[in-house]
Structures are given as C-alpha cells and as structure tokens.
C-alpha cells in the first residue's frame, strides 16, 4: 500500500466537492478498489468514503418500486428486500461471503460494473433506474461494456430504483473460488413482457437476451428456448470455462430461471 489522504463525506454535496480534487477517488465498500490499490493498479491521492452519507443508506418502497441507497451494503439489501423483492434479496444474499456482503455496496458494484457481478443483471433485468448526484439513467443506457458505464468522471451513484415485477428469479452458476457468476441470469415478468439479463458470460459485460424475451412472451416454457443459441464469439473464455461452455450455460441458466418461475 502507499500513502493517501482519506476523507469521510457527510453528505452527497461534500462528496461531490471532495471528488473535484485531482486524482481523488470515491470509495464505497472497497471490495474491488482496495485490492486494486494494494496491487498499485491505481494510485489516487485521496479516497472519499461514501459509506457515512445518510441520504445514501437504506431501502424504501413507494409506488411499486424499491429504492436502495447507493451506499447500502449487500447484507442490508438482502435483509430489507426479502418481502418486497425476494429475487433481489436472494441475489444480494448470494454475493461473495459474509465479509463481502457486510462491506460491499450496491452503488460500488454498479459503478465498477464487473462483467461477472450480480447486481448489473438485477438492474438490467428489472429495468432499474440508476440515480446519481446529477441525473437519472435507465439501466438499458447505463451499462456500456466491460467495466464501462454511462457515469461521468466524479459522478456518484446515490440510489437505484427497481420497479417490482410480477415475479422474478436469479439463477447463478457460481465460480466457486470467487463466488462471482460464471453465468448468471435474471428473469423478470412485468405486465408488458419479460426481461432476461445475463451476467458473467460476455466480454461486453451484462446484456439483455432479447431473443429469449421474445420467445418466452409467445410461450412461457423452458422448451421454448431449445432452438435459441448464443454465439460464442464474444463470450468470456478462461481457465474456468471456454467461450462455447459459457454460451451453452446462458441457455441452460435461462431455462432454469423459467422452471423456477413455473
């Protein structure tokens, strides 16, 4: 590790002001950033902690939507959405291990946009809105590739608003060493149709499988997906699974999601 200044912001305005300094970096739960600093892959001069900002903490339910503060931990999300959005609660409760769940934050995860993270699938699969200190961004516009988002430099994810579906499920094929998703599928049914979001599989990060959405809208059965195939070209290939294996898992996990809802 190396020397840096540490600031604990008391409000979103404080955090925004502190992040104007050159080489300042926002710090959520630190589950990705701290290992990055230890490896000296990033060397910000100042870390601005967001976890003490009251307006970025907690879960509220209004008008058929669950709104979660950006600094809310995975453990809190799991506990406080158990009755209002069970699929999201189950997803949050399956992230990492207890230490990770009690430190990591939903805003930090979405800002980082790891291609194998779980929350991006929930956000995209729910048609969520990412609320920042500047604006509101639809999930369909927010995710822009591996570790890439629509956030501007210094922009903070202050909250995430999830429309609650009629029913939903998250099916995750776990990479056991990291507990990230080798492939994860979030399936949600809304009045106007289905949304299928896939994480862990693509080099482009989380994506919607629109062909599956259309097939399920016509015939909501696992067998309705049998003739659909994901091309392996843009899939992630590594020591844990080949491109072809991940492409195959996308369909398998989506079928499992359908069966879970049935």
How much is the pLDDT for 87? 98
Question: Are residues 146 and 64 part of one domain?
Answer: yes
Query: What domain range includes position 76?
Result: 57-163
Higher pLDDT, 122 or 37: 122
**Average of pLDDT values for 218-242?**
95
Question: Are residues 67 and 152 part of one domain?
Answer: yes
Question: Are residues 147 and 74 part of one domain?
Answer: yes
Question: Are residues 190 and 135 part of one domain?
Answer: no
How much is the pLDDT for 197? 98
Give the domain CATH number at 42.
3.30.43.10
Question: Are residues 104 and 172 part of one domain?
Answer: no
Question: Are residues 152 and 74 part of one domain?
Answer: yes
Rg (CA), the chain: 18
Question: Are residues 188 and 171 part of one domain?
Answer: yes
* Mean residue pLDDT across the chain: 95
Question: Are residues 104 and 37 part of one domain?
Answer: no
| End residue of a domain, out of 131, 163, 195 | 163
**Average of pLDDT values for 33-49?**
85
The label of the residue with tokens 């892959």 reads: 41
pLDDT at 209 over 90: yes
Give the domain CATH number at 109.
3.30.465.10
Question: Are residues 186 and 106 part of one domain?
Answer: no
How much is the pLDDT for 1? 63
How much is the pLDDT for 235? 97
Band (pLDDT 50/70/90 cuts) for residue 34 is: confident
The label of the residue with tokens 């002001």 reads: 17
Number of domains composing the chain: 3
Question: Are residues 154 and 69 part of one domain?
Answer: yes
pLDDT at 84 over 80: yes
Q: d(Cα 118, Cα 87) in Å, to the nearest integer? A: 12
For 92-99, which contacts have Cβ atoms below 8 Å and span 24 or more sequence positions? 92/118, 92/119, 94/118, 94/170, 94/172, 94/174, 94/179, 95/119, 95/179, 96/31, 96/179, 97/179
Question: Are residues 94 and 147 part of one domain?
Answer: yes
The label of the residue with tokens 């994810």 reads: 157
pLDDT in tens, 90-132: 999 999 999 999 999 999 999 999 999 999 999 999 999 999 9
pLDDT in tens, 121-178: 999 999 999 999 999 999 999 999 999 999 999 999 999 999 999 999 999 999 888 8
- Cα 262 to the chain's mean position, in Å? 25
How much is the pLDDT for 251? 97
pLDDT at 42 over 70: yes
How much is the pLDDT for 3? 84
Could you give the 3-state DSSP secondary structure of residue 112? helix
Sign of CA dihedral 76, 96, 26, 116: negative
Give the domain CATH number at 175.
3.30.390.50
Predicted structure pTM score: 0.95
């Amino acid at each position: 590790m190396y020397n840096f200044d540490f600031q604990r912001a008391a409000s979103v305005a404080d955090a925004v002001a502190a992040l104007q300094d050159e080489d300042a970096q926002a710090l959520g739960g630190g589950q990705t950033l701290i290992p990055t600093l230890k490896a000296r892959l990033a060397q910000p001069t100042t870390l601005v902690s967001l976890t003490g900002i009251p307006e970025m903490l907690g879960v509220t339910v209004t008008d058929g939507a669950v709104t979660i503060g950006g600094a809310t931990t995975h453990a809190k999300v799991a506990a406080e959405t158990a009755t209002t959005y069970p699929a999201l609660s189950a997803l949050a409760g399956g992230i990492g291990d207890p230490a990770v769940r009690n430190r990591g934050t939903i805003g930090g995860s979405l800002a980082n946009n790891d291609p194998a993270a779980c929350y991006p699938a929930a956000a995209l699969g729910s048609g969520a809105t990412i609320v920042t200190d500047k604006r509101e961004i639809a999930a369909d516009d927010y995710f822009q590739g591996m570790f890439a988002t629509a956030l501007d430099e210094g922009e903070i994810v202050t909250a995430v608003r999830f429309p609650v579906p009629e029913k939903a499920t998250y099916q995750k094929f776990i990479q056991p060493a990291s507990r990230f998703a080798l492939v994860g599928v979030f399936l949600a049914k809304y009045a106007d149709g289905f949304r299928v979001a896939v994480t862990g599989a693509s080099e482009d990060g989380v994506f919607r499988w629109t062909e599956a959405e259309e097939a399920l809208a016509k015939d909501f059965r696992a067998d309705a997906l049998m003739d659909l195939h994901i091309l392996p070209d843009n899939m992630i290939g590594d020591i844990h699974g080949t491109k072809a294996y991940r492409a195959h898992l996308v369909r398998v996990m989506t079928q499992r999601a359908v069966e879970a809802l049935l």
